Structure 1
Amino acid sequence: MIYTCTFMPSVDYTTYIPTFELGELNRSNDVYYYPGGKGINVSRVVKRLGVDTIAGGFIGGFTGDYIESFLRDEGVKTDFIRTPENTRINVKIKSTEETELNGPGPDLNEQNIQSLIERIGLLTEEDWLIIAGRIPTSLPSSFLTELATHCEQNKVKLVVDTSGPALKQIMEIIKPFFIKPNVQELEELVGKTIHSKEEAIVYAKELIGNGIQHVVVSMGGEGALYVSSEETLIATVPKGKLVNSVGAGDSLVSGFIASYSQDGCAEKAFRYGVASGSATAFQSDLCKKEDVESLVSQVIISKQ
């Protein structure tokens, strides 16, 4: 089973306005309400691609109820831990420029954290655990150590899609099965400025040398790189109009894991992941299976 964990989910209120005037009354007839959070995005796309998944993490209040109901209506199973606070609401204004207003995440108490650790402890070598999104500072340092212990003992395939100090800390404790940094995040990991795809490949190989099994580096319109101990691949992205950048990276992760979990073919999974990320970028919501499959043939893979 593919499990996702989102520490700070949200209800995303997204509105499209031709012209946004700061300090003025702005009206829009085009609004959407979606459950937000990188792990939740991953679960939604994985399910749309025909693979079962369980979305977990922390939710609370009426907004948490909305997230759970929305996911169940889409066929995504849920296993959230309830918190006493309402899950945050994030406002996203799409106009000539994108503007976002994100609410604060929950304050997690010891009981919340222990409940999560206990659930992770039940996973087996048949399971995937995808930790995606920002990791709250309220988590004790011991949490990551316990996470690493459970995943190593039970041979759980750990996928990490976060950034900053949390990603570095995780990688010092446990070597994830898969990570997907963008170029800036890769620079933060290796402490170097990256000027080209060739340099990105060199530093991605360093991560592989340190024990990570699969690294995908997303490079926006320039495509993506895949590196493992066995091969290095470069992918172009399909041509299309960028409509919404939110969720594109999450969809890449979803496409890769959904495909790889079925047959273990990395090149096929990489192609499917890039197509999934592009399909989401070309529309207002997350991609669907038919959107992805229409783009797969347009993803050109070259071997290095």
Structure 2
Amino acid sequence: MIYTLTLNPAIDYFLAFDSFVEGNLNTPRETYKLPGGKGINVSKILKNFSTDSICLGFIGGFTGDFIKSTLENDGLETKFFNVKEDTRINIKINNNGLESEIAGTSPSISKENLDELFYFLKNNLKSGDILALSGSVPASIPTSIYADIIDAIPKDVKVILDTRGLPFEIALKKGVFLIKPNQDEINEFFHSNFSTNEELIEAGKKLQTMGAENVLISLGAKGSIFITKNEIFISGVPKGNLISSNGSGDSMIGGFIYGLNKNLSLDKCYELGIASGSATAFSKGLATFETMENLLKEIKINKL
């Protein structure tokens, strides 16, 4: 089974403006709301690709009810743990192509809430399962949370870690199957300013010595680098019109997991990840299987 964990979900409220003027009354030309969170996005991509997963996380209040009911109405399986405060709302503004975001305040998560999560993980995850640990860690949760989860589950669960900062650093030491940092996150982690592919590859190899079996480095419009135990691949991105970058990194992980679940080779999983992430960037909302598949023929992966 595939599990995705979102510690800090949100309602993402999208507002598109032809011209947003600070200090004035502004009327958007378009608005819509979606359940948000990196792990949730991974599960949504998998659902779009006819692959089952279980969404885990913490929700509360009317906003949490919206997330749970929307996902379940879309056919996703969920196992959320209820907190006392409302789930946050994130505001995402597109001002004639310029994207800005206002992150909402996270609800408090109690020790009892964490105990519920760990009880579920210890009693349900089995050898061979896939677990995506995605997104930020709320201030009320210890920064060791992802590392603690890795300690609590069977050793041969394939853990995919997509976070940053101290939670990333602590969890990495436990050993994970895949990490997906972007260029900014790598520079932040190493307190450096890597810019060339050669520098980024060396940084990726160092991350392998620190606990990552495979390293997928996202470079945005410049493509990506994928480093496995024995091979290094590099790829650009297919051509398309950027509509929104929101969720493209999560979609990349979703496409990769889709291939992994089908026991495809790692380079094929990488190809599916690129197509999925790009299809989301070129879409309003997340990639569908059709939009992903249409891009596969345009992807060229080079082995170094």
TM-score, length basis structure 2? 0.95
- In 2, the alpha carbon distance for the partners of 1:141 and 1:245 equals 27
Q: What runs of 5+ residues in structure 1 fail to find an aligned partner?
A: none
Conserved in 2, the CA contact under 8 Å of 1:124 and 1:154? no
- In 1, the alpha carbon distance for the partners of 2:114 and 2:285 equals 31
Paired position in structure 2 for 1:66: 66
**DSSP-derived class of the 1:181 partner:** coil
Alignment partner of 1:15 is 2:37: no
Amino acid at match of 1:55: C
Paired position in structure 2 for 1:126: 128
- The range that moved more, 230-239 or 205-214, is 205-214
How big is each residue's C-alpha offset from its partner over 1:114-133, in whole Å with a ceiling of 9 and x where there is no partner? 11111121211131111111
Percent identity over paired residues: 38
- In 2, the alpha carbon distance for the partners of 1:154 and 1:115 equals 21
Alignment partner of 1:139 is 2:137: no
How big is each residue's C-alpha offset from its partner over 1:173-193, in whole Å with a ceiling of 9 and x where there is no partner? x11111000011112333432
- The range that moved more, 15-24 or 133-142, is 133-142
Count of residues in correspondence between the two structures = 302
Deviation, structure 1 residue 3: 0.6
Paired position in structure 2 for 1:169: 170
**DSSP-derived class of the 1:237 partner:** coil
Amino acid at match of 1:251: S
How big is each residue's C-alpha offset from its partner over 1:108-158, in whole Å with a ceiling of 9 and x where there is no partner? 11101111111121211131111111012322356445312223x452211
- In 1, the alpha carbon distance for the partners of 2:17 and 2:147 equals 45
Deviation, structure 1 residue 272: 0.6
**DSSP-derived class of the 2:233 partner:** strand
When the two chains are superposed, the root-mean-square deviation of aligned CA atoms in Å is 1.4
Paired position in structure 1 for 2:232: 232
- In 2, the alpha carbon distance for the partners of 1:276 and 1:207 equals 24
**DSSP-derived class of the 1:136 partner:** coil
**Aligned residue runs from structure 1 range 252-263, under 5 A:** 252-263=252-263
**DSSP-derived class of the 2:293 partner:** helix
**Aligned residue runs from structure 1 range 259-274, under 5 A:** 259-274=259-274
Amino acid at match of 1:95: N
- In 1, the alpha carbon distance for the partners of 2:220 and 2:93 equals 21
How big is each residue's C-alpha offset from its partner over 1:24-63, in whole Å with a ceiling of 9 and x where there is no partner? 1212241111001111111101111121111111001111
- The range that moved more, 136-145 or 43-52, is 136-145
Q: What runs of 5+ residues in structure 2 fail to find an aligned partner?
A: none
- In 2, the alpha carbon distance for the partners of 1:46 and 1:207 equals 27
Amino acid at match of 2:132: I
Paired position in structure 2 for 1:218: 218
Paired position in structure 2 for 1:102: 103
Paired position in structure 1 for 2:302: 302
Paired position in structure 2 for 1:31: 31
- In 2, the alpha carbon distance for the partners of 1:218 and 1:101 equals 23
Paired position in structure 2 for 1:290: 290
Paired position in structure 1 for 2:90: 90
- In 2, the alpha carbon distance for the partners of 1:209 and 1:28 equals 48
- In 1, the alpha carbon distance for the partners of 2:220 and 2:213 equals 23
Conserved in 2, the CA contact under 8 Å of 1:3 and 1:54? yes
Deviation, structure 1 residue 82: 0.6
Q: Which consecutive aligned stretches of 4+ in structure 1 deviate over 6 angstroms post-superposition?
A: none
Amino acid at match of 1:193: N
Paired position in structure 1 for 2:209: 209
- The range that moved more, 190-199 or 293-302, is 190-199
